[in-house]
Amino acid sequence: MFENISPLTADPILGLMAEFRNDKREKKIDLGVGVYRDDHGNTPIMRAVKEAEKQKLTIESTKSYIGPNGSERYNELIQNMTLGSNHVVIKDRRIATIQTPGGCGALKIGAELIKKVKGNSTVWVSSPTWANHIPLLGGAGLKINDYHYYCPVTKRINKSKMFETLEKASDGDIILVHGCCHNPSGVDLDEEDWKNLTELLARKNLLPFIDLAYQGLGDGLEEDVTGIRKLLSIIPEALVACSYSKNFGLYRERTGGLHVILSSADITNAVSGQLGSIARGIYSMPPAHGAFLVEQILDDGCLKSIWTGELNEMRGRISNLRMKLATELSEATNLDFNFIMNQKGMFSFLGISKEQIDILKNKHAIYMVDSSRINVAGLNSNNLDFFVQGVKAVV
């Protein structure tokens, strides 16, 4: 039965991770996969998470099933984290939330829900977008189109082209929007763009599907969702896929959630039931550990303040690295890399060719994704100069 299966080319991000692991050179830099690293190059467990884990050992009293929709309290807490507890959507009870295995689980459940409701839907994704959006959404049978986003010349959003392509979307189409820290470009919508997007979505009756994987790593926990919150106070229906891999450092614990915002509270229970049934048909129930920790942290003032402090440190480190990198690269190469300072979150495109990327990997042991996306958080005081010299040698 399986003898004719052909091998696949490796996933662009996970394949690079494996290549890096197998590279025996002593001095090497991994700027591939989007994982936060500290100045020693480690991805430590956050202090608040460690503390919550200790508490879990004493508090947890059962390993019995939790149900397809996960923990009710967790779902409530992440609704507040995304929308703010005073948001009209929460007050009106027009939101159904399901705990999911990471942000990918949330995207998948969202895609399956859309398919269930309207099987021939088209989803518009930014060009470029995170590589895994395509299999996650397309795999559910949704049609994928793209809209203009990043301009490699200006290193900004090509706004006129973006809105021009979005005008082509048809009534009922879905628009996938990166909530903050756009992956892979680091270029985010500003206040005006969120306003214009909201107007367009309302006028054309389009459904926003927001991927929120980096809340707190752009400008701040609240600041990063200002545009989303305003949009959701106007647009009646939407999906928001949340990941807690990055901001809680829970990557391997697969911790996320999907919010479905509805036009009426009358259908909240029905939608919750549908979400649970989709999950039941894929993985039955979400893993409990990561969500337990997030719940514990968000529900405890002391743990929450330790966590926000750590998150602020991470964001500050990335922003300092961006300044340093932009300055040092510009000085060393006589080229303008100052755009790196203005971008947000972990990623930026360096804007170099595939050939230069290959030389950096093969000759200098510097790894980045083929698109020239770098994970800025992979740099530190020990490797920044090595990286700058490597780039200088190839540009």
Question: Any idea which residues carry the catalytic annotation?
Answer: 130, 211, 246
d(CA 154, CA 101): 37
d(CA 163, CA 166): 5
d(CA 274, CA 269): 9
How many residues sit in the footprint of ligand LMR (CB under 6 A)? Answer: 6
What are the residues facing 47 on neighbouring strands? none
Q: Which is nearer to ligand LMR, 68 or 184 (CB)?
A: 184
Which residue number has the CB closest to ligand LMR? 34
* Smallest separation, CB 34 to ligand LMR (Å): 3
Is residue 132 near ligand LMR by the rule CB under 6 A?
yes
What are the residues facing 125 on neighbouring strands? 146
* Smallest separation, CB 130 to ligand LMR (Å): 5
d(CA 170, CA 162): 15
Q: Which is nearer to ligand LMR, 132 or 158 (CB)?
A: 132
Is residue 134 near ligand LMR by the rule CB under 6 A?
no
Q: Which of 183, 215, 247, 383 binds ligand LMR (CB under 6 A)?
A: 183
Is residue 36 near ligand LMR by the rule CB under 6 A?
no
Q: Which is nearer to ligand LMR, 13 or 83 (CB)?
A: 13
* Smallest separation, CB 85 to ligand LMR (Å): 28
| x/- letters, 184..203, toward ligand LMR (CB under 6 A) | --------------------
Is residue 34 near ligand LMR by the rule CB under 6 A?
yes
Nearest to 217 by CA among 144, 318, 124, 307: 318
| Cα-only R_g, the chain | 21
* Smallest separation, CB 68 to ligand LMR (Å): 23
Q: Which is nearer to ligand LMR, 13 or 303 (CB)?
A: 13
Is residue 33 near ligand LMR by the rule CB under 6 A?
yes
Q: Which of 124, 130, 307, 367 binds ligand LMR (CB under 6 A)?
A: 130
DSSP 3-state helix, strand, coil percentages of the chain (rounded to 5)? 45, 15, 40
Nearest to 237 by CA among 269, 215, 266, 209: 209
Q: Which is nearer to ligand LMR, 35 or 359 (CB)?
A: 35
Q: If residue 212 lies in a helix (H) or strand (E), which one and from where to where?
A: strand 207-212
Q: Which residues 3-32 are close enough to bind ligand LMR by CB under 6 A?
A: 13
Q: Which is nearer to ligand LMR, 34 or 249 (CB)?
A: 34
Contact 18, 10 (CB under 8 A): yes
* Smallest separation, CB 313 to ligand LMR (Å): 21
Q: Where are the alpha helices (DSSP H) in the chain?
A: 14-22, 47-59, 72-83, 88-91, 102-117, 133, 159-166, 191-204, 226-234, 268-282, 289-298, 301-333, 339-342, 354-364, 384-394
CB atoms within 10 A of CB 389: 13
* Smallest separation, CB 248 to ligand LMR (Å): 14
Q: How far is CA 272 from CA 88, 110, 193, 289, in A?
A: 19, 12, 31, 22
Q: Which is nearer to ligand LMR, 17 or 352 (CB)?
A: 17
Q: Which residues 229-268 are close enough to bind ligand LMR by CB under 6 A?
A: none
| x/- letters, 140..169, toward ligand LMR (CB under 6 A) | ------------------------------
- The pair of structure tokens assigned to 130 is 């995170």
- Contact set with ligand LMR (CB under 6 A): 13, 33-34, 130, 132, 183
